[in-house]
Structure 1
Amino acid sequence: MIFALSSGLPPSGVAVLRLSGAGVIRAAAQLLGGQALPPPRTAMLRSIRRVADGRLLDRGLVLVFPGPASFTGEDMVELHLHGSPAVVAAVQQECLALGLRPAEPGEFTRRAFENGRLDLTQAEALSDLLAAETEAQREQALANAGGRLRRQAEAWREAILALRAETEADLDFADEADVAPALTAGPIRRLASAIREALASAPVAERVRHGLVVAVVGPPNAGKSSLVNALAAREVAIVTDVPGTTRDVLEVHLDLGGVPAVLLDTAGLRETADVVEQEGVRRALARAEAADLVLAVGEGEVPAGGEVLRVVSKVDLSGEAPGVREGVAYVSARTGAGLEALRAHLVAWARGRVPRGEPALVTTARQAHLLEEAAGFLEAAAAEADAVLRAEALRLAAASLGRLTGAIGAEEVLGAIFARFCIGK
C-alpha cells in the first residue's frame, strides 16, 4: 500500500492525499473511525480520526475507487483535506501507522502501466501533460494521453502479424510457386511508408516538448541582458555597465503565442584574456550555432546557425523609429519602444515553425527510435527474396512496435520514464 500528497505543497486551500494498493479501503475505514465509507466514486464529507484514540484530525471529502476501475487498477482512496502543513502531516502519520508507505516518483502511474490501465506512450504523454507550460504543449500531450499512438502502433503490429502469417505460409508451399515474395513486398513497403510518414512529425513535436531556442548574441554592453529582461517581463539577467558581466548562458522560458521557447542570454562576444570569459564566449557561440533563431544585438559578426534577426537597441538614444522592418528590429529595452512589435514578430515566427493543426503522433526520441527501427526492418523485409529472412525481419519490426507500447521488453525503460513524474503521480 502506498500514499502520497498529489496536490501542491501546503499551505493550500485543499490537499489531496492519494492511497493505492490492496488494503487501502480497509485502512480508510479505520481512519473514518466507524463512519460508513462513501459509495464508490462518490465524494462525501467525513471526519478523519486518529486510529489509536479516535481524536479528530480533520473533516474532508473522501472518495473510494475500487479496482480495477481506478487510475492504478488497484483499490484507491482519495482524502481531500484542508491544506495546512499540520493537517497533512498528521494524516500522513496515520497512514504510516496503518502500514502504508510513501510512494516513489511516478509509482502511481507505473502501477497503472503494470496493471494494464495505460501503455508506455500514454505514460509519456501524461508526463508531458503534467509538465506543459504552453497551449501547444497541452494540446500535444493531451491528444496522445488518450492513446492515439498506441492504437496506431497496434494497428501496424496487427498488419505485420498478418504479413508474417502470409510469409510463413509461403514457406509451407515454397515448392509450388516462386512468386510469393512479390505478393507481400508491396504491402510491406506501404506499411513502412506509413510509419515514416508518422515519423515526419517528430521534429515538430520535439520543438513543442522542449521549446524553440532563441539566442541573444552580440558584443559586450550591446543591451543583450536588458533585452532578455524586457522580453521575459521580469528581472532575470544582471544588467551593469561593466563589460563581461554575463559569463555563462542564462536560459529563460517564454510562451510565444502558445508555442514554448527558450531565450538564451549569452556572454558578450569579444577577444579576451580572461579564462572564465573565454569559456563564456565559447559557450555563447556553441549555443548560438545550435539555436533556431539568433537575435543579433548591436554590430559585429553573427555566429553561423539558424535564422538571424538583427536588433538595434537603445533607439531612445539614437532617434530611430521603433518597430521591425526589413529583417531588423529597432527597440529600446529602457522605454519599451518597439518591444511589442518584436514580440509580435517572434510569435509569428514561432507559429510558423510549429504550425497548429492535429498534434504530432510521435513525440519522444524513444518513440522515434523504435518507429525508425520498425520501418527499417520492414524495408529490409520488402527487399528480401528469402522467405525465412523476410519472416525474421517482420518479426523484428513487430517487436519494435511492441517495445514502443510496452507490450514486450519494457523493463529497461521503465525507470527512466516514471522517474520524471512527481511523487503523487
Structure 2
Amino acid sequence: MIFDTIAAISSPIGTGAIAVIRLTGENTINVIKSLFNIHAPEPKKMYYGWIKEKDYVIDEVTWVYHKGPKSYTGEDMLEIFCHGGILVTKKILEKIMTLNVREALPGEFSKRAVMNRKMNLLKAEAINELIHANSDFALKAATNQMDGKLSKRIEIIKKELFNIAARIEVEMDYPDDFEVDNFQFLKSLNTIKAELEELYENADNGISAIEGIKMAIVGKPNAGKSTLLNALLRKDRAIVTDIPGTTRDTIEENLNIRGIFIKAIDTAGIRKTEDVVEKIGVTRSLKAIEESKLILFVLDNSVGIDEYDKEIYNKINKLNKEVIIVINKSDIDNEDNFEIPWKEHEVVRISASKGEIKNLEDLIYNKLKDTVITDELALTNRRQKNAVKKAIDSIIKAIEGIELGLTNDAIMFDVRKTIEALNELTGDDYTETLLDNIFGNFCVGK
C-alpha cells in the first residue's frame, strides 16, 4: 500500500500556452480543499479557479479530480491546467509541496499504476516508448504493445502453464487416483516453447525500431564522411575542412530516414598516425564499426582507391557486416574512373557537399526496413527479451525432464520457473529494485 502523495509538472518545462501539474495519493482531497476550498469535488468534472499564495494570486487555472481506483494511477488524482510559463508553473508546484506532498520521482505515476494493477509492465513501458518515439516504426511498435495483444497472449500462455502445474500437483498429492498424461504435457509445452521462441527471435526488430539502428560512416581522412553526416542531418553538425584528420573522435547523431530511427556515427578517419589524440579517435572508430549494423564505406572519387582504403575494407570485411560502398565527390571528374574491386557490396555514387544523397537514402531504407517491421506481438526492449529467454530456458528443462522420466516435482520446478519469468515480463511478480530501474528512465510526471 502506498500512503504518501506525490506531485510533478507533467508537461515539458518551458514557455507555452498551457502547463499540466499532476498529483496523486491519499492526500489529494485535502490538497483540493486547501487550494480551491471545495470539499467534495465531482470526479471527471472540469473546475475553474484561482491558486493563491497568502494575499496574491499565483494563477488562474482549471482542474480535474479523478477518484481512485478510476484514475491513471488507481489512486485519487488531481490534474491542474495552468498557464505555461516556467515561473508560474514552478510557483504552483512549490505551493503544492507545502501541503504534505513530495515531488515525484521519474516515472513514479506509471510505477504506481503498475503496483495498483491499473496496467501491467508491458503497457507502462509501451507508454514511455510512445512518448520517446523517434520514428514511424518506433511509434508503431509502441502502439502495438499498448494495444494489449501481447499481454493477452502472455496471459493465455501463463494460464496454460498453470493448468499443467495444477494437473502435476494433483497427481503428486493423489498418485493412486490420478495419472498424468506426459504425452499431452509434452505437446502443450512444445507448443508454448515454439511460440516463445518465435517471440524471442523477432525481438530484435522491435528493439531496433525503438532504440534505433547503429550505422557507422567509415573511410580514410578527407573522404567526406563529416560532410555526408551533415547532408543526412540537413544541418551542419560535424566540422568540415580540407585538412585530413579534422574529425578526431566519433560523433553520434539521430536520423530519421523514411520512418526508420538510425543512430549515425561519423568516425574519425582511419589511418596510421603518431598523433595521440587521433590514435584514440581511430580506436573508437573501430569500436563503433564493430557495434554497427550497417556500414557506409566512403571512398573519395577525386583520388581513387589507395592502400588506406584497402586496409580499411579488410578490417570491415572481417566483421561480416552489411556494407554500402559510397563513392563521394562524384561531381568531380576523375579520368581514371576507378573500378570497385569488392563486387559483393552495393555501390552508390553521391555528392555530399551538394546534398545529392537521395539514392543513398533510398538504399539505406531498403537495407534496413525489414529489420524494424514489427507485428502486434513484438517485444520492444532488452528487459522483455531477457525475460522471454529465461522462460524458454526453463520450459526446455521441463520438456527434457519429461523426456528423461524425471520426477514430477523436478518438472514442476521448471514449469514454475517458466511462469515466474513470464510474470517478470508482465510485472506481475516485481521487486522494488526492478521497478525502480525501469521507471527511473521515464519522464518526471509520467
- Output the TM-score relative to the length of structure 2: 0.88
- Structure 1, unaligned runs of 5 or more: none
- Say if 1:106 and 1:418, in contact at 8 Å, map to a contact too: yes
**Partner of 2:271: helix, strand, or coil?**
coil
Asked if the contact 1:181–1:387 (Cα under 8 Å) also holds between the matched residues in 2, the reply is no
Identity of aligned residues (%): 31
Could you say which residue in structure 2 is the equivalent of 1:347? 365
Question: How big is the shift at 1:175?
Answer: 5.7
Distance 1:76 1:177 in 2: 52
| Partner deviation per Cα, 1:29-62 (whole Å, 9 max, x = no partner) | 3212x46876321223322223x34x32211221
Question: In 2, distance between residues paired with 1:36 and 1:409?
Answer: 37
Matched, 1:334 2:353: yes
CA distance in 1, matches of 2:285, 2:376: 33
Structure 1 residue 74, shift from structure 2 partner: 1.0
Q: One-letter code of the match for 2:333?
A: S
Q: Could you list the per-position Cα deviations for residues 248-293 of structure 1 after superposition, in whole angstroms to 9, with x for gaps in the alignment? A: 1111111111111111100101111122212211221222133221
Q: What amino acid is aligned across from residue 260 of structure 2 in structure 1?
A: V
Query: Partner residue of 2:394?
Result: 377
Q: 1:418 to 1:176 in 2, by over 3 A?
A: closer
Residue deviations 1:181-211, cap 9 Å, x none? 2332211111111111221211111211211
Structure 1 consecutive aligned stretches of length 4 or more whose deviation exceeds 6 Å: 176-179
Q: How many residues are matched?
A: 417
Structure 1 position 19 matched with structure 2 position 23: yes
2:441 partner letter: R
Q: Does the C-alpha gap of structure 1 residues 383 and 334 become closer, same or farther in structure 2, counting only changes over 3 Å? A: closer
Partner of 2:63: 62
What is the match of residue 191 of structure 1? 192
Q: Counterparts in 2 of 1:193-342, with a 5 A limit?
A: 193-298=194-299, 299=305, 300-301=309-310, 302=313, 303-304=316-317, 305=319, 306-318=321-333, 327-337=346-356, 339-342=357-360
Deviation at 1:319, TM superposition (A): 6.6
SS in 1 for 2:331: helix
Q: Please tell me the residue identity of whatever aligns with 2:365.
A: V
For residue 315 of structure 1, give the secondary structure of its aligned residue in structure 2.
coil
**Cα distance between partner residues in 2 of 1:328 and 1:417:** 42
Structure 1 CA distance for aligned equivalents of residues 432 and 34 of structure 2: 36
Shift of 1:7: 0.6
Query: SS of the residue aligned with 1:89?
Result: helix
Once structures 1 and 2 are overlaid, which stretch shifts more, 60-69 or 219-228?
Answer: 60-69
- 1-side partners of 2:178 and 2:108: how far apart? 55
Q: What runs of 5+ residues in structure 2 fail to find an aligned partner? A: 300-304, 338-342
- The residue type equivalent to 1:400 in the other structure is A
Give the aligned partner of residue 392 of structure 1: 413
How big is the shift at 1:245?
Answer: 1.4
Say if 2:167 and 2:180, in contact at 8 Å, map to a contact too: no
| Correspondence for 1:113 | 114
Match of 1:405 in 2: 426
Letter in 2 for 1:278: K
- What are the superposed Cα offsets for residues 84-131 of structure 1, whole Å, 9 maximum, x if unpaired? 123113212211222222111111111111111112222222221121
Say if 1:20 and 1:74, in contact at 8 Å, map to a contact too: yes
CA contact (8 A) 1:11 1:84 kept: yes
The amino acid of 1:408's aligned partner reads D
Are the equivalent residues in 1 in contact too, given 2:15–2:85 (CA < 8 A)? yes
Q: Which residue identity lines up with residue 421 of structure 1 in the other structure?
A: F
RMSD (Å) for aligned C-alpha atoms: 2.3
Q: Aligned partners of 1:181 and 1:352: how far apart in 2? A: 40
Q: Aligned to 2:191, what secondary structure does the other structure show?
A: helix
Maintained 8 Å contact 2:121/2:425? yes
1:14 partner letter: I
What SS class does the counterpart of residue 403 from structure 1 fall into?
Answer: helix
1:365 corresponds to which of 377, 382, 397: 382
Report if aligned partners of 1:257, 1:351 keep a CA contact under 8 Å in 2.
Answer: no
Structure 1 equivalent of residue 435 of structure 2: 414
The 8 Å contact of residues 38 and 62 in structure 1, kept in 2 or not, is answered as: no
TM-fit CA distance, 1:224: 0.5
Write out per-residue CA displacement over residues 148-171 of structure 1, whole angstroms, 9 at most, x where no aligned residue.
332222211111111112223333
Which deviations, in whole Å up to 9, do the C-alpha atoms of 1:358-378 show, x marking residues without a partner?
245222222222212212222
